[in-house]
Structure 1
């Protein structure tokens, strides 16, 4: 082997097969650096974002809460920012754990081409333990292969896929409420006092930001969710298409783009829902002022479409999923309305009860007057007022809030029906002509947005509303139990001081039976005296027109189907009837089309419709003494008012039982002022000849009293029962005071 002379210059190294490898490695190193910078930007900006949200939640909002400013709506300002923070912190933790575990696994998961590179070099590049030689390093690199090193799978793309649903659920709510939050911020700027409080809070909690209002922080989550696709796209641009992580990064970027698209669609639906769910209280003048040719034509088209649906000319668009959800919602709304009415009546009756103070009156009671006064005083001063306060706070007010919450979806459901009629009309036109205008396309999109929003939101709304209603009912039950417990405790204290409190139980019940027997005898004696002094009952005959109508109902449906309205009914829903008290109807069906047994289908002698079953009372026809004249009377089988005590069986005089009926009496005294009028005394029975005057006005009625005929005000008349089964009984009401 020839040796080289020391004076000869060293021969230049001829670049061989290593030169392309170096160039490719340098190129990979540059892509690696860009990729690493992009990943670091993702993690650092995520950490900064989470820190800013924590400042917003833990410092700014807490400071404003401590100020206790009633005019600032913190829930409207910050929306569900707590959920956003929770998801973002978990996402950041996952990012940091994934990248810090193997800093280069996202950057250098790439393929390698070239047949001349040996397998050990390829493994070293895969494991990230090889660097290209610099100009000052020897050309021959030494490698140390660690067989224990096993490459771990890339989790970056999977992490975005894992958090996709959570991110979409929290960010779509926040972004949908962002516009309303900005409106609140602008309204607070117009109030110098509130704006000063907000600026003081920002200067105290986050002075380094230099923010002058809350919009600086509120926009950050909106900006962050839109930046995820850009950050992932930047990483993707610096990742080789042959890299194992490339497809995962593509999926992650597509997922983030899909999230932003879904958020925008959700915002659009919410804007449509907000527009059409507002309940406007307009006067008749304002409603008429909104009428124009376009609105009249649109309403006419909807009405004709609805008529064609009912007539079966055109088929209805069926949506069984929505129909099921709407039925649940309407059932819930009906229950809330009825419960609210009952609780309102309960509170009013309780207030009337508290106005009476029997403990302050002189009571003719033997022995127990003092204990009764103390017990009644305790109930009226402490227990019942506190119970009423808690009932209003824990039951009535939440019930009112729930009722107000239901108004928005109710309005949106009604608007959906209107838009559905428009949608069907446009669809029919589109099938005929093949094209639609821009406004018609917008109308179709509006219906689809409302329908999609209702189908997606109504299940959750119904569930939350049912939970809300259940909590209200549980509160009502708990209050009733507490009331009963307190009353029982106070009663036991007072009863313990009575003389017979230590009497044996058999002796006590004997005393009770004897007291009830004496009270029953007194009551029977009073009833007998009452029957002797009261005038004979006068059965009110039917007018000729009413008699013909009743006979027509009997001939069509039979006498067993007759019912009488017990109180005025004002129809508030579709196909409901408006009826007056005392009007006679015939029952057709004991439920409506949806199976609700509380609404009955009746025939009012020409008009058919639905009425509440609780306002109908069975009636049967009774023959009067006049030939071919029939009277209307309540059914004797109707359950009468029950009492908390039962009178002992005692011999009772035989009383002539006549069929139950009603009679008309004068509720107030009236003095005739002209020859066409007749004077009345309060409580005086009379006969109504015509329930109107000659001009048809129902304010005056033609009556006959003591053989005299004349007109009296209709409002002075009242109908009372003439006789109950088993003899005369005291009326459940007192005659009103005389009007002046």
Structure 2
């Protein structure tokens, strides 16, 4: 057997032994472990036997191992990368298991079984097999290439396969190293990559070059902004959900308060009740209020809890983004240094740059999937909230519909809120007319202030026009009854205000150039202190027209209405009302 044949057989034999170890792990130790790698290794053994051609018993043709590797390498990278990345965590979990008697008995049994079938001593030595196998593929290909003549048709494929396998190993090792850095960052409570440099970090941040949106750094920066936007939306969405649920509860509570107050207004009491009102109140208290309480519980259980969980998952991306942002100035500072054999950068600066690159690469690889899952989770929460709201409003509509059917009279149809408004207005039309007729609801003026020209066309308030009061018979012959008329006002040449009543023409007292003072009747004995009314009526005005008018009206009414003190408050108000 030539050296080349020996190298090819070594590849086949070692692959069969590796597949046997993977099967042993699944059969003896962990039944569900290494499923993808075990299936891949079994299939690769079968294809490798066929690719060796006449070098194996029953084979035909020349060997084409290089062509086989070129075909399987794209399918080989993903399962090995996933396993090797999680290998260290699996070993640590295995060592951290509580050493109970049952666990120790199980490990002892599996170790004895495994040692009788292979050279592996324990489970940990078996779990390291895939890591060792991936690193061995480039070495096996290198040995085959060294013994393959240049005239062999598969030598070019072998060289290309070795280059691709070395790249796969490099990528897997890079992912593993990056995973270890990420693990340390997530577990560490201190800020990673603390570098003792004499350089001002503030100045370094100012020297960071603009980021290209298509580069890895630009993609991570854009995705970090998207992550913050999603977090802000989720927080605001959660607040709005809580406020809406509480507002529904408060609204129904306010409706109950209004209902009770409305019943008092219309005069309902325990002795004199209304079946329709009791049915209305029962719908509010026993149907709608419990429905709102259930609404808050359902929203909390089916919507808010899931959104809070989504927000908690953002902690790990933020733990990676924060140190990456802090290490970024150090990375660009390292790029700007003049490095030579004599002036090497500080080791701490190299470590900080390595950490930055590892964090950035990890975020660039995982953030797109994470953001897509966040959007999907929020979409599910929004749809679930819409479904809950739909059921809530349907239940509310059904409750009011049942009340409507119970209170409906002949000729009324459940045609929506427009018909409801029309029906209620028609039922309360009489009440509206009574309320509309009250003076307190009138917008017209009760009393019109007389104009400065003293025109006689001004109307008198109806209540005043209908009032007739008997005047006392003192001294002169007077009419037994006298209708009180509106005063008219004018000004004399000196600017004094003169006022008079249309009364007895025989009374002819005058003052300086003014119109004759009216012949006023003698006041009642209770108002003898007002005997100087002539001077009071005609003395010059010291106040505004409105002030004099109110003062004059008050004196005249008291003088002409002997029963003033016995009048009711409403009658006094009507007599003294002056529209300003």
**Which category describes the TM-score, using the shorter chain as reference length?**
0.5 to 0.7
Q: Provide the residue aligned with 2:316 in structure 1.
A: 408
1:442 and 2:351 aligned: yes
Q: Does residue 120 of structure 2 align to residue 208 of structure 1?
A: no
Structure 1 unaligned blocks of 5 or more:
1-26, 62-80, 109-126, 130-150, 530-740
After superposition, the C-alpha distances for 1:31-89 in whole angstroms (9 at most, x for unaligned) are 546633541331342254256347766x3x5xxxxxxxxxxxxxxxxxxx6xx633652
Report how far residue 97 of structure 1 moved.
4.3
1:104 is matched with which residue?
53
Residue 476 of structure 1: how far off its partner (Å): 2.9
Residue of structure 2 equivalent to 1:64: none
Tell me how far apart the structure 1 counterparts of residues 62 and 4 of structure 2 sit (CA, whole Å): 21
Using the TM superposition, name which of 441-450 and 346-355 deviates more: 346-355
Distance of aligned partners of 1:202 and 1:216 in 2 relative to their CA distance in 1, 3 Å threshold: same
Partners of 1:207 and 1:379 in 2: CA distance: 69
Does the aligned pair in 1 maintain the 2:220–2:360 contact within 8 Å?
no
Aligned with 2:355: secondary structure?
A: helix
Distance 1:217 1:517 in 2: 92
Distance change >3 Å, CA 99–CA 340, structure 1 → 2: same
Q: Distance in 2 between matches of 1:158 and 1:203?
A: 44
How far did residue 235 of structure 1 move?
A: 5.3
Cα RMSD over matched residues?
4.9
Shift of 1:266: 1.4
Residues 598-617 of structure 1: matches in 2 within 5 Å? none
For 1:185 and 1:266, locate their aligned partners in 2 and report how far apart those are by CA, in whole Å.
Answer: 22
Q: Of 211, 218, 223, which residue of structure 2 is paired with 1:323?
A: 218
2:16 maps to which of 40, 43, 51: 43
Quickly say closer, same or farther: Cα 1:85–1:510, change in 2 above 3 A.
Answer: same
**What does residue 545 of structure 1 align with?**
none
Instruction: For structure 2, list consecutive stretches of 5 or more residues without a partner in the other structure.
Output: 264-273, 442-580
Instruction: Name the CA distance, whole Å, in 1 between partners of 2:158 and 2:392.
Output: 65
Contact in 2 for aligned 1:42/1:231 (Cα 8 Å): no
- Separation of aligned partners in 1, 2:213 and 2:317: 18
Matches within 5 A, 1:446-461: 446-461=355-370
Give me the whole-angstrom Cα distance separating, in 1, the residues matched to 2:149 and 2:231.
62
Q: Residues 491 and 204 (structure 1 numbering): CA distance in 2 closer, same or farther, change over 3 Å?
A: farther
Q: What is residue 397 of structure 1 aligned with on the other side?
A: 305
> Residue 436 of structure 1: CA displacement?
1.9
Match runs of 1:530-545 below 5 Å: none
Change (3 A) 1:440 1:477: same
> What residue number does 1:302 align with?
201
Structure with greater helix share of residues: 2
> Relative to 1, partners in 2 of residues 1:166 and 1:103: Cα closer, same or farther, differing over 3 Å?
closer
Say if 1:474 and 1:392 are closer, same or farther in 2 by CA, change over 3 A.
same
Q: Is the 8 A contact 1:239 1:246 kept in 2?
A: yes
Please report how far the alpha carbon of residue 207 of structure 1 lies from its aligned counterpart in structure 2 after TM superposition: 8.2
SS of match in other structure, 2:332: helix
Q: 1:493 to 1:91 in 2, by over 3 A?
A: farther
2: CA distance, partners of 1:204 / 1:399: 46
* Counterpart selection for 2:178 from 269, 273, 280: 269
Q: Deviations over 1:333-373 (max 9, x none)?
A: 23323323432463376468669995999944761533653
| Mapped contact 2:327–2:356 kept (Cα < 8 A) | yes
Deviation of 1:263 (Å):
1.4
Aligned equivalent of 2:228: 333
Q: Distance in 2 between matches of 1:94 and 1:159?
A: 9
Q: 2:166 aligns with which of 228, 232, 257?
A: 257
Cα distance between partner residues in 1 of 2:392 and 2:301 = 15
- Superposed CA deviations along residues 232-286 of structure 1, whole A, max 9, x for unmatched, are 4565566555433344334334333322221111122233333445685x9xxxx
Quick one: which of 235, 238, 245 aligns to 1:343? 238
Give the secondary-structure state (helix, strand or coil) at the position aligned to 2:338: helix
Q: For residues 144 and 21 of structure 2, what CA distance do their matches in structure 1 show?
A: 19
CA distance in 2, matches of 1:475, 1:459: 24
Per-residue deviation, 1:421: 1.5
Kept after mapping to 2: 8 A contact 1:31/1:239: yes
- Cα deviation for residue 511 of structure 1 reads 0.8
Tell me which moved more, 346-355 or 238-247.
346-355
- Residue from 461, 465, 471 that aligns with 2:380: 471
User: In 1, distance between residues paired with 2:144 and 2:403?
Assistant: 83
Give how far 1:399 is off: 2.1
CA distance in 1, matches of 2:299, 2:320: 32
2:332 matched to which residue of 1?
Answer: 424
SS at match of 2:276: coil
Following TM superposition, by how much is the alpha carbon of 1:302 offset from its aligned partner in structure 2, in angstroms? 0.8
Take 1:224 and 1:518, find their aligned partners in 2: how far apart are those partners? 96
Match of 1:245 among 150, 154, 157: 154
Q: Is the 8 A contact 1:332 1:466 kept in 2?
A: no
Change (3 A) 1:90 1:500: farther
Q: How does 1:17-56 map to 2 (within 5 A)?
A: 27-28=1-2, 32=5, 35-36=8-9, 38-50=11-23, 52-53=25-26
Counterparts in 2 of 1:712-731, with a 5 A limit?
none
Normalised by the size of structure 2, how large is the TM-score? 0.57
Separation (CA, whole Å) in 2 of partners of 1:48 and 1:425: 49
- Cα distance between partner residues in 2 of 1:417 and 1:254: 35
Pick the structure with more strand per residue: 1
SS in 2 for 1:497: helix
Larger radius of gyration: 2
Give the Cα–Cα distance (whole angstroms) in 2 for the partners of residues 520 and 275 of structure 1: 77
Q: 1:103 to 1:439 in 2, by over 3 A?
A: closer
Deviation at 1:107, TM superposition (A): 5.9
Q: What residue in structure 1 maps to residue 547 of structure 2?
A: none
- Contact 1:302/1:418 (<8 A) preserved: no
Instruction: Report deviation, 1:204.
Output: 9.3
Cα offset, 1:508, TM superposition: 4.3
After superposition, the C-alpha distances for 1:181-206 in whole angstroms (9 at most, x for unaligned) are 3333333236x4xx84x557768999
Q: Secondary structure at the match of 1:367?
A: helix
* C-alpha distance in structure 2 between counterparts of 1:376 and 1:205, whole Å: 67
Size of the alignment, in residue pairs? 416
Cα distance between partner residues in 2 of 1:225 and 1:276: 27
- 1:125-165 CA-partner distances (Å, limit 9, x unpaired): xx978xxxxxxxxxxxxxxxxxxxxx4773x4334333334
